[in-house]
Chain A
Amino acid sequence: MANSELMDFDKALELFEPVLGFEVHVELNTKTKMFCGCANEFGSGANTNTCPTCLGLPGGLPQVNKKALESSIRLGLALGCEIAEHSRFARKNYFYPDTAKNFQTSQYDDPICHDGSITIELESGRLVTVEIERAHMEDDAGKLTHMGGATGRIQGADYSLVDYNRGGVPLVEIVTQMIEGAEHDAPEIGKTYVAAIREIAKALGVSNARMEEGNVRCDANVSLRPRGSNVLGTRTETKNVNSLRSVERAVRYEIQRQAAVLHAGGTITQETRHWHEDTGITSAGRPKSDADDYRYFPEPDLLPMAPSREWVEELRLTLPEPPAARRKRLQAAWGFVNLEFQDVVNSDLLDAVEATVAAGASAQSARKWWTGEIARLANVAGVAADSLVTPAQLAALIALVEAGTLTDRLARQVLEGVIAGEGTPAEVVERRGLAVVSDDGALIAAIDAALLGQPDVLAKIRDGKVQAAGAVIGAVMKAMRGQADAARVRELVLERAATIE
């Protein structure tokens, strides 16, 4: 699968029009699984959270988790969807070892949410409205580990191991309508759309929304049609695209690959393709046609759902401000330029800055500390910035700087103390003796000593060569071990130089 089989992206766009579609799976963060009371936990010992129902054993009887239904409805409402008055589950039958029941409990012709849309904003400012066809509930599969192969991949494995802890965990699958007119923005639309879904799920609190833990997973459908044609091309479905960057890369790759195949007179096979994060390519999985016979039928063990309109309206009232609107509001309130604001958003520090501002700090100071020193320390420690200090602690630190008690340099030392668990910023200042020396008496003594120690400098200052004061200021700061306000020292140096005997 050499890169020579790819067409240049711009050329591909010149010859073909891409048509996109996305299926995003959002794993809900309920306490228990979709249809049984086993814990929904990431990282437990293998096969510790299973029961006859999620293992598909005889006698297992599923029951719908009401919280999962509630989360699904709230997610649907946030996506502008209609909530079905009548909805039911269906069995999707297929054999695969990660699915113990030999069917997935999903929804077929009566999804819980349908006909919504969200508008996303690209970096260029272009607004794209993505129509949502449906958002339905289903249960997740177990986790496979492929053994014996050289690469840990399914290809060439001797056998596989299964952990069913994830089997039965509630998912919402969000399916878009076809996205036409994406043009050169196709890769960015993919990335931005998945980011928006992730952000909405997180804001609702219905999912941990961590892509690296598989809470949000994306299948990307791509097809091309020749310019001037109205006939849809054959699409491929690329699975396993589990980071925002990968969504962008996978869409770009498929456009370039399909364009090369079509331009050379070949045809696209309708198939599932696997995304390989390491090499940045997709490879053919099984052809779609021979596995698509899922024999869906209504799930006989689960009763239909008919969420009352009153309940749906109650849930609508619980929706948070849409993340995109919230970003606009906060940027305006804080007066950040785009670059500053993007920096905060991309570092996932919006909540932290907002809380710090709410605790009394200025927006610019909050931004500067979170995206600067704290992000740097977090990076070194390999943890999230907002796990190091609380917004309240940072606001207290910023207040000390603004009161003149600390210089920025001293404040960084105090921050380290706070992170090390030495107490509040005020306590760290006290214990480490870090406050700026603002007692002019101590400063004046140090300044006088420095001036008298350098009579030539003193003479120059008296001659009006003010820049000569730098040498004295440096000596004073050194004597005060940095715990002095340089501006105040400069003021006093000039004052003392005029009066000193």
Chain B
Amino acid sequence: MSEITAEQVAHLAYLARIDLSPLEITNLTHDLGQIVDSIAKVSEVATADTPATSHPMPLTNVYRDDVVVPSLTVEQALSGAPDRAGDKFRVPAILDEE
């Protein structure tokens, strides 16, 4: 059985800023454990001569030329912002008062 613990899931949830209920943590601990087990099974089959792959497509060197294309307007860019001040995004204080 996997080594994923509820503490790890809670920590991960904190890092990802996802607010999980105790029930969700229990369920995710189980689900993530199964995923880790499945990957371990694949690793058993993959021998040393199987290179690690980070992409499913055997493609490299796909580039874009350094040519400017039109950007969004300021209004478009800010249209989804919860808060703004002039042409800038406005965000809550970053540091807590200490």
Contact = CB atoms under 8 A, between A and B. Distances in A.
- Tell me if chain B binds chain A: yes
Interface of A: 30-32, 36-39, 45-52, 55, 57, 63-69, 86, 88, 93, 95-97, 144-148, 154-164, 293, 295, 298, 300, 303-307
Contacts of B62: 63-64, 303
A148 B62 CA distance: 45
A64 to B, nearest CB: 5
A162 B66 contact: no
Given A45-B74, A304-B54, 9 more contacts: A38-B68, A47-B77, A47-B88, A48-B74, A50-B72, A55-B72, A64-B62, A158-B93, A161-B91
Contact of B64 (A65, A147, A155, A304): A65
Which 8 pairs of residues, A with B, have the shortest CB-CB distance?
A37-B69, A298-B54, A67-B66, A66-B63, A161-B88, A63-B64, A46-B87, A162-B89
Contacts of A69: 63
A66 B71 contact: no
Interface string B3-47: 000000001000111000000000000000000000000000000
A65 B66 contact: yes
A284 B69 CA distance: 42
A143 to B, nearest CB: 9
B61 A307 contact: yes
A46 B74 CA distance: 8
Contacts of A63: 62-64
B59 A47 contact: no
B87 A47 contact: yes
A94 to B, nearest CB: 8
Interface of B: 11, 15-17, 54-55, 57, 59-69, 71-72, 74, 77-78, 80, 85-95, 97
Nearest to B92: A159
B66 A47 contact: no
B91 A31 contact: no
B68 A154 contact: no
Given A50-B71, A160-B93, A164-B89, A65 B63 contact: yes
Contacts of A45: 74, 87
A112 B30 CA distance: 39
B52 to A, nearest CB: 9
Contact of A160 (B17, B68, B69, B94): B94
B65 A48 contact: no
A163 B88 contact: yes
20 contacts: A30-B66, A31-B67, A32-B67, A36-B69, A37-B69, A38-B71, A39-B68, A46-B74, A47-B77, A55-B72, A64-B64, A65-B64, A93-B15, A147-B85, A154-B94, A159-B92, A162-B91, A163-B87, A164-B77, A293-B15
Given A48-B74, A163-B88, A157 B93 contact: yes
B67 A305 contact: no
Nearest to A156: B97
A58 B54 CA distance: 22
A148 B97 CA distance: 13
Given A95-B17, A97-B94, A306-B60, A32 B68 contact: yes
Contacts of B80: 57
A147 B83 CA distance: 14
A265 B69 CA distance: 59
A110 to B, nearest CB: 9
B54 A88 contact: yes
A160 B68 CA distance: 29
B91 A97 contact: yes
A272 to B, nearest CB: 13
A162 B87 CA distance: 9
A65 B67 CA distance: 9
B73 to A, nearest CB: 8
Contact of A157 (B64, B77, B86, B95): B95
Contacts of A39: 68, 71
A37 B67 contact: yes
Contact of A159 (B11, B78, B86, B91): B91
A111 to B, nearest CB: 15
Contacts of A293: 11, 15
